[in-house]
Structure 1
Amino acid sequence: MASALQGFRFTARSCACAPLSRRCAAQSVARRRAFATTPLRLEKERSPEQKEVLGKVEKAVGYNLDEELAADKKELQDLLNAEIEFGPAGPDLSRRKKKLKETFLNYGDPEPFEDGDFDEDNHDDLPSLAHGELEQHREWRHYARLAAWEMPLLTKLAKPFEPPTADMSLRFRYTTYMGESHPAEKKVVVEFSPADMPNLTSIQRDKLRKLAGPRYNPEEDIVRMNCEMYETQAQNKRYLGDLVDTLLKEARDPTDTFADVPLDTRHHHFKPKPRFPKEWVLTDERRDQLAQYRLQMEKKDQKLELEGQLVDGMKKIETVISRPIPQEALPEMVLAGGKSTAGGKGKGKKVAVRR
């Protein structure tokens, strides 16, 4: 459709026949009618045949050809005027931004957009708080995918629980923070009882308790040690295992049994635990005594009630409530340094108070 309209336009222009001498004549580069204020006039009137053809073309095209020709002439004339006054149009150079003065706020390395490598921030990015929320949401989705697709596969590796046997005397304890990095995550604690260690005599067990020193709990008979010197839990566990082997080796050494060294328990604070007195235990004899005492008290109350000497608590309370409340007299105000009289003011010194 556009090509057809363009063809009609060229046909209409060709109908405006200008003299051949004008077409072929050399055009001046300078502006024509530089100081004129009147528009250009048509040099020659069109014939009726040309007007009829132009009318048909305008009806087919849908717009006035004379107005289009005038607009094209005006556009060309404006371009020529601009070239004459300002010269030919050069390349579109980006305007260089003025460098800001170095102050305390912008002192240092220049921003990326100042060198032209990046565009200036248009404040269309999310803030850091929103990026943190997105990161947390991604982590939740990651664990949700693990729970939905990978957790059910772990049932194939499940093993039945087997309680520790007598040979497993060491109990290790680990700490985890569910995927988060923490300095206490590498800590490993080992506990064992000297009485559960195999192939030890009573003298060797006592020596082992003395070698443990302040790590021995005399109340629970447990030795507790921990290690967090290394970066991984496996290394700390290996160190604790070697340390226990060294203690057992020294405890089995027959050269010195430490029999003359007493067990030092000053590092442990014994907390007193209250115990129920044996005298308060409710035995059958104690139940019979309490039953006889209650029966005697009931007989005594019945005897006092018949004599009228038994005190009724409800009646005492009603008697106290029914008594009238005495009204206390209000204190009489007197001046400082004197006594008040019935007919006049008392003598005294008046003191002014500044408020």
Structure 2
Amino acid sequence: MSSVLARSLRLTQQQQQQVTQGYRALHASSVSLAGRNKKKVNFKAHAIKNRKEHAEIYDEQDRAYDMEHMEDWEYDDHHTYGHLFLESIRDVRKYVRMMKFEHPTLAQHAKAFKPPQADTHFLKFESSVTMGDKVLAQDRKVVLRLQVAKLGLKGAELHKFLLLVGVRYNPQTDELKMSENREATSLLNKKKLADTLVELIAEAKKKDDMFADVPLDFAYHGYKHKMPFPTEWLSKAKASTE
């Protein structure tokens, strides 16, 4: 292309060579700009180096600022333990104010403690709390204990209720024990147990099917009926020894 352009301009041979070399140099520079002969650059190392330089600049600026304003704040503040001590004083003052101004007003609403009656308050909920730690899995578990005789179920209703609770019933102590730990908190597990007990009682009172033909089996508890010792054997044993 360069030779054709030179001929069209009717240049001499020396001038044609100069034009050709110029176009070749321009073509080489355009190729390098297009990325054909690009150099590999380690951007990660470049970023680390650049970041390090910026950090040094910022640190130098911070040190200069501290040296410039050191006299303004060097002796006007407490150390860490001093702040902790002041915070403890504030806590004591807060509770002293509560004792002086709030407790006298709360005394007007005080009521005498009355222990719960055993006939109406027979549900026993048991839970554990681990002090000093976060809420653990075992702290969510709640156990419900009650005497089945206090539920007021009789005959076929009691039979059906014992079939529903299954192995959770202890025939020796007449105690029902249920536990729950699937909810997020112990309070929700407690409510879940109370709702489950209400549903079991409601199901036991339904008259559609009382399961009278299904017998109760307490073999799972290892319960064995104790036979009374025959008194007539005592006289025979005494006679044999004489």
Normalised by the length of structure 1, the TM-score is: 0.33
Larger relative contact order (Cα-Cα within 8 Å, sequence gap ≥ 6): 2
Higher helix share: 2
Kindly name which structure, 1 or 2, has the bigger radius of gyration based on alpha carbons.
1
